[in-house]
Amino acid sequence: MSKALEIKIGKLKLQNPVMSASGTFGCGEEINNFFDINKLGAIITKTITMEKRQGNPSARVVETASGMINSIGLEGPGIRNFLKGKKDFLKKLKTHVIVSISATSVEDFKIMTELLDEQSYIKAIELNLSCPNVSHGKTLSKYKLIAQDPKATEKIIKIAKKYTKKTLIAKLSPNVTDITEIAKAAENAGADAISAINTLTAMAVNVEKRRPVLGNIFGGLSGPAIKPVALKMVYDISKKVKVPIIAIGGIISAEDALEFILCGASAVQVGTATFVDPFTGENIVNDLEKYCEEKKIENISSLIGALVV
Ligand SMILES: Cc1cc2nc3c(=O)[nH]c(=O)nc-3n(C[C@H](O)[C@H](O)[C@H](O)COP(=O)(O)O)c2cc1C
């Protein structure tokens, strides 16, 4: 692979700026059997919580115009079972492993960060402060989510920072009045990078049954439908913070990735597109490489924020 796609996020040097988005990619043997995960710049695991979680009642996903709504609700085995079950596989990977975590107490954030810090094969932690399908609880945030409250965002990042030297990424919510205020709080607290955006709160209705489609009534909208919203948020954040931004939201092609990079992103994550074509991430890497070759771009980082307005 050429060096044209190499980028830096915090302490991490990535072979390319394309990552899998949390919750949309298996991160296990099952996917590695037909897809070479090591082609990606990094993989981000499904968000892990302290204890096992069942998630929300079904139905938990529904297709919508140019996207989907999910209300999975952070189903997962809990951090200790996750580490036991996935360690052997994740350790073998050559690409960077980033683990996503969420919690409903300061204590759990602290314990989980410490546990991950002990694992040398885990290169960074993404703090999911923004899942619309859970509540972080009133003790942590003034609102439903940590990423809706700048003070709570700052507090949790400072705690995590205290317990790990690994690169810390704060994943933000679009469900706010001003995402740049939260991004600034994250940067001030020591976040090494910002991921934006998580899903937008949404719902779908079944007219025949006169009922919501999702068991949880509400969910989070993702896919191409949210790309223009995400682009604007990434652009706005890039004007307010210096740390790298990892863009997420409806990315299905190298052109989408380049749009985000021009708007100030250093890297991108691919989520919903993976459900349509599991090879999307790899295709984007190949197409970005071709683009740099054709345009004689020595390193893709020269395009970060290069939008002419
Ligand atoms: C089925 C599904 C599950 C998701 N689970 C998580 C999760 O566990 N943690 C998280 O931070 N984001 C989660 N997300 C949000 C994605 O990581 C991403 O931020 C969002 O879908 C927007 O990107 P996209 O339009 O490329 O999908 C999930 C999204 C989907 C569609």
Q: What is the pLDDT of residues 231-283, one digit of tens each?
A: 999 999 999 999 999 999 999 999 999 999 999 999 999 999 999 999 999 99
Cβ proximity of 219 and 175 under 8 Å: no
Contact partners, residue 164, CB within 8 Å, separation at least 6? 113, 114, 116, 117, 125
Q: What is the pLDDT of residues 159-207, one digit of tens each?
A: 999 999 999 999 999 999 999 999 999 999 999 999 999 999 999 999 9
CB-based pocket (< 6 A), ligand 1 = 21-24, 46-47, 68, 70, 72, 74, 100, 128, 131, 171, 198-199, 222-223, 226, 248-251, 270-273
Q: How far is the CA of 23 from the centre of ligand 1 (A)?
A: 5
Cβ proximity of 214 and 203 under 8 Å: yes
User: What is the rounded CA–CA span in Å between residue 214 and residue 225?
Assistant: 19
- Domain 3-303, CATH among 3.90.1170.50, 3.40.50.1370, 3.20.20.70, 3.30.450.20: 3.20.20.70
Q: How far is the CA of 303 from the centre of ligand 1 (A)?
A: 26
The answer to whether residue 131 is catalytic is yes
Contact partners, residue 177, CB within 8 Å, separation at least 6? none
- Among protein residues, the one with the nearest Cα to ligand 1's atom 14 is 23
Cβ proximity of 12 and 262 under 8 Å: no
Average pLDDT of the chain is: 96
User: What is the value of pTM for the model shown?
Assistant: 0.98
Split at pLDDT 50, 70, 90, the class of 1 is low
Which atom of ligand 1 is closest in space to residue 275's alpha carbon? Answer: 31
Which atom of ligand 1 is closest in space to residue 252's alpha carbon? Answer: 26
Provide the pLDDT for residue 175: 97
Q: How far is the CA of 262 from the centre of ligand 1 (A)?
A: 23
Radius of gyration of the chain measured on its C-alpha atoms:
18
Provide the pLDDT for residue 10: 93
Q: How far is the CA of 121 from the centre of ligand 1 (A)?
A: 23
139: its two tokens: 């003790």
Which atom of ligand 1 is closest in space to residue 128's alpha carbon? Answer: 11
Helix (H) or strand (E) holding 128: strand 122-128
Task: Tell me the C-alpha to C-alpha distance, in Å, between residue 122 and each of 19, 158, 271.
Answer: 15, 20, 21
Q: How far is the CA of 132 from the centre of ligand 1 (A)?
A: 10
Q: What is the pLDDT of residues 26-66, one digit of tens each?
A: 877 777 777 889 999 999 999 999 999 999 999 999 999 99
Q: What is the pLDDT of residues 97-149, one digit of tens each?
A: 999 999 999 999 999 999 999 999 999 999 999 988 888 877 888 899 999 99
Mutate to test the pocket of ligand 1, among 20, 222, 272 (most ligand atoms within 8 A of CB): 222
As a dihedral over the C-alpha atoms of residue 288, residue 9, residue 178, residue 224, rounded to 10 degrees, the angle is 30
